[in-house]
């Protein structure tokens, strides 16, 4: 079984500040990990994904995430947020394979104050 925990339901930061959104996963095998973003009244869009290799992965719009096997974490970071980053961010995990399901966390709502 696999699961994802996003411990912060809401995060508020000031424009220009740095950001970290936390994600902890549980998986019986080496996971594939994803961060998706959902802007108001839209579907989800992929920010970045980790399959293997370098534990720090770069995504769109200056986002990056770091995979830690020892901590079972995949935290999302951005050095300087913009008001347009306000959205809901979802972490997701799958075991891969031909019939694997993607399990999502409950999401973290990010509000950026200008």
Task: Please count the CA atoms within 13 angstroms of the CA of 66 that sit on its side-chain side.
Answer: 8
> 72-83 burial, b for 16+ CB within 10 Å, e for fewer?
ebbbbebeebee
Considering Cα of 65, then 67, then 70, then 73, what sign does the dihedral take? positive
Q: Is the CB of residue 35 less than 8 Å from the CB of residue 91?
A: yes
Q: Is the CB of residue 107 less than 8 Å from the CB of residue 34?
A: no
* CB nearer other proteins, residue 42 or residue 70: 42
* CB nearer other proteins, residue 38 or residue 72: 38
Interface ranges with other proteins (CB under 8 A):
9, 32, 34, 36, 41-46, 49, 90, 94-107
Closest approach, Cβ 35 to other proteins, in A, equals: 11
* CB nearer other proteins, residue 15 or residue 109: 109
* CB nearer other proteins, residue 25 or residue 105: 105
Q: Is the CB of residue 60 less than 8 Å from the CB of residue 84?
A: no
Closest approach, Cβ 6 to other proteins, in A, equals: 8
Closest approach, Cβ 112 to other proteins, in A, equals: 20
Closest approach, Cβ 104 to other proteins, in A, equals: 4
């Amino acid at each position: 079984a696999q699961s994802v925990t996003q411990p912060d339901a809401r995060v508020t930061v000031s424009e220009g500040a740095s950001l970290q959104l936390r994600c902890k996963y549980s998986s019986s095998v080496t996971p594939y990990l994803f961060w998706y973003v959902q802007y108001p009244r839209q579907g989800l869009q992929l920010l970045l994904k980790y399959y293997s290799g370098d534990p720090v992965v770069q995504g769109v719009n200056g986002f990056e995430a770091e995979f830690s096997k020892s901590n079972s974490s995949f935290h999302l970071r951005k050095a300087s947020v913009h008001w347009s980053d306000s959205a809901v961010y979802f972490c997701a995990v799958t075991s891969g394979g031909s019939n694997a399901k993607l399990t999502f966390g409950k999401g973290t709502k990010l509000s950026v104050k200008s």
